[in-house]
Amino acid sequence: MATEESTSDGLGRSTALRLQHLKGRLFEVALVAATLVGIVSLLALFAQISIDAFQPGSASPTWFLVYLGTLVAPTAAFTLYARRRPAVRETNAKAFAAVFGGLLLSFVTYAVVDSLSPYDVFTYVFFTSLPPAIVVAYDRTTDDRTFTGPAIPASIVVGLAVAALLYDVVRGPIGIAAEWIMYFGLVTVPAALLIGTLTASRRGRRSGVVAGGSVIVGGLAVAVASIVTGTNAAFPVVLFSAFVVPTGYVLWRSVRTDPEGRVGVAGPFVLLGGTLLGAAVVGQFGIQNPDTFLTPTLLLESWDGLRANNAGVYPQIVGSIIIVGFMAVLAFPVGIGAAIYLEEYAPDSGLRGRLATLLEINISNLAGVPSVVYGLLGLALFRRTLGFGTGIVFSAAGTLGLLILPIVIVSTQEALRAVPDALRQGSYGMGASRWQTLREVVLPEAIPGTLTGTILALARAIGETAPLVIIAVATTKYSPPSGLFSSATALPLQIFAASANAKPEFRHGVVPAAAVVLLILMLLMNATAIVIRNKYGREH
């Protein structure tokens, strides 16, 4: 009755309207399906690749039960507990970042320095950091700071030149020292300085000196202990200085300053403890492990194309990290500089305004140039014009640097554009110059956005294959690159080369495992970028 009435009013749903609404609902369902189809098919493929890499079918059911009890259940319970309490959740996230970030930092530092030779790295780092250190020290003692700003980058260049000139003279004497002393100088000393400065800024100069000093003493103690027990002191020193000290500092501060959330610190240890406990139980009772291909061998050995259980991608992983790291050194300053010019300096009109428009169009076009064409550019530039050797780290990093340059520029531009104009006006109103405004006001605001963009660019670069194939980077290498001018290798190249191998233990084993490693690296970078974006993105 009521329906009839409303139909006669024309306000209810007539048949035609009902059909229209049905059409609308079907449309929405179709949209959801379309949005999900790509994501779901990719997830299915990821699942396939992970199953091949991990081989869960080969483990006994008890194995799953053990890890369910020691690892999955406690971690899940803790995560659920933390999710309900914002303070705990935040500390938990921080602790995870600190623990795994510290571990990752230690491994990467050790692997990279080890393959490049600790003596060489130490020599160059020492000579390039000494002059700027002197400038900074001078800056502290004087009131006239007109010259110190430009002097810092200039002194770095001078230091680099001095290092190159004196290399042959200095390298010999330095080589006499034990290896761990190099790592001590490269990692422990900066860690001590960092902790010392942080403590000094909070609790006064004396505490700072004590904190820094104790890091130095601790590092020495670790070295002595390792030497006494007869192990190589290098890695323990790195682990202590790049993991134990910074992670300990962050966790200790959370515990001290945040009584509400301090339970969250336990998060990563529940995870690590669960893993270790599970392994102990499995070992004790002889439970069947899965025949996984994601093994320490994969991460630490070099590739043996014949037997799958010997195959590893250590040289490729380290090679990728070195290439991408050096690429960042080359491309980021230029990319950020270009973005600053376009957003903050370039005028809107006139001849230079038109130049800026041209630059913008050019940059968006460069972003669309196929990566394989950048390979040809790298080939022509580094091999033909500069006469570098085939497939060396420098060429690979330079080529990828040119490739990601537009990405860095565009994302930095967006970050700068998001800084409200009122802040700039405020700074100019106080009598600051353009450069001072940039350095003190605009850039600090734009850092999170810039960071997001640059990390995404790194993630893109680490998976890039085609340009490396074109500049003929080697796939089969048994050791990581030993310097910027030694021949490079990269993880994606190994996957490309090995995809032709039809042996099942490769095709459905080691290669998927290598792919999982690459995917994890790339997803970690993406996740970091997203976390930074979500954390700071809401501020403006």
Footprint (CB under 8 A) of other proteins, residues 112-171: 146-147, 149-150
Site for other proteins in 390-449 (CB under 8 A): 390, 402, 405-406, 409, 433-435
Q: Report, in Å, the least distance between residue 243 CB and other proteins.
A: 28
Instruction: Pick the binder of other proteins from 424, 464, 474, 480 (CB under 8 A).
Output: 464
Distance from chain centroid for Cα 426 = 35
Residue 93 as a binder of other proteins (CB under 8 A): the answer is no
Q: Which is nearer to other proteins, 37 or 276 (CB)?
A: 37
Q: Is the dihedral of CA 216, 234, 163, 197 positive or negative?
A: negative
Instruction: Pick the binder of other proteins from 77, 369, 447, 520 (CB under 8 A).
Output: 369
CA 182/CA 176 separation, integer angstroms: 11
Instruction: Pick the binder of other proteins from 241, 450, 465, 486 (CB under 8 A).
Output: 465
Q: Which is nearer to other proteins, 186 or 356 (CB)?
A: 356
Q: Report, in Å, the least distance between residue 128 CB and other proteins.
A: 19
Q: Answer whether 464's CB lies under 8 Å from 300's CB.
A: no
Q: Which residue has the tokens 């022509």?
A: 380
Instruction: Pick the binder of other proteins from 366, 418, 432, 524 (CB under 8 A).
Output: 366
Site for other proteins in 335-354 (CB under 8 A): 335-338, 340-342, 345-346
CA 392/CA 372 separation, integer angstroms: 17
Identify the H or E element spanning 473: none
What sections of 230-383 are H helices per DSSP?
234-239, 245-257, 267-285, 296-300, 314-340, 350-368, 371-378
Q: Report, in Å, the least distance between residue 522 CB and other proteins.
A: 6
Site for other proteins in 249-278 (CB under 8 A): none
How far apart, in Å, are the Cα atoms of 65 and each of 47, 157, 262, 281, 286?
Answer: 21, 58, 30, 11, 14
Q: Is the dihedral of CA 495, 496, 498, 499 positive or negative?
A: positive
CA 487/CA 509 separation, integer angstroms: 28
Contact stretch for other proteins (CB under 8 A) within 69-77, 131-139, 477-485, 503-511: 503-511
DSSP lists the bridge partners of residue 392 as 487
Contact stretch for other proteins (CB under 8 A) within 62-70, 79-87, 289-297, 521-529: 521-529
Count Cβ atoms below 10 Å from residue 483 Cβ, excluding itself: 15
How far apart, in Å, are the Cα atoms of 55 and each of 9, 62, 228, 294?
Answer: 66, 15, 41, 9
Instruction: Pick the binder of other proteins from 216, 393, 515, 532 (CB under 8 A).
Output: 515
Q: Report, in Å, the least distance between residue 333 CB and other proteins.
A: 8
The size of the interface with other proteins (CB under 8 A), counted in residues, is: 104
Q: Report, in Å, the least distance between residue 21 CB and other proteins.
A: 6
Q: Which is nearer to other proteins, 182 or 405 (CB)?
A: 405
Residue 48 as a binder of other proteins (CB under 8 A): the answer is yes
Instruction: Pick the binder of other proteins from 136, 157, 276, 373 (CB under 8 A).
Output: 373
Contact stretch for other proteins (CB under 8 A) within 162-170, 176-184, 276-284, 376-384: 376-384
DSSP 515-537: HHHHHHHHHHHHHHHHHHHHHHH
Site for other proteins in 168-207 (CB under 8 A): none
Nearest in space to 372 (alpha carbons), one of 457, 441, 300, 467: 467
How far apart, in Å, are the Cα atoms of 248 and each of 102, 192, 380, 448?
Answer: 10, 13, 49, 25
Residue 328 as a binder of other proteins (CB under 8 A): the answer is no
Residue 482 as a binder of other proteins (CB under 8 A): the answer is no
Q: Which is nearer to other proteins, 48 or 197 (CB)?
A: 48
Structural tokens at position 324:
């991408």
Residue 37 as a binder of other proteins (CB under 8 A): the answer is yes
Q: Counting Cβ atoms within 10 Å, is residue 503 exposed (0-12), middle (13-18) or buried (19+)?
A: middle
Distance from chain centroid for Cα 186 = 20
Contact stretch for other proteins (CB under 8 A) within 115-123, 229-237, 245-253, 465-473: 465-473
Instruction: Pick the binder of other proteins from 362, 447, 520, 535 (CB under 8 A).
Output: 362
Contact stretch for other proteins (CB under 8 A) within 103-111, 170-178, 226-234, 329-337: 329-337
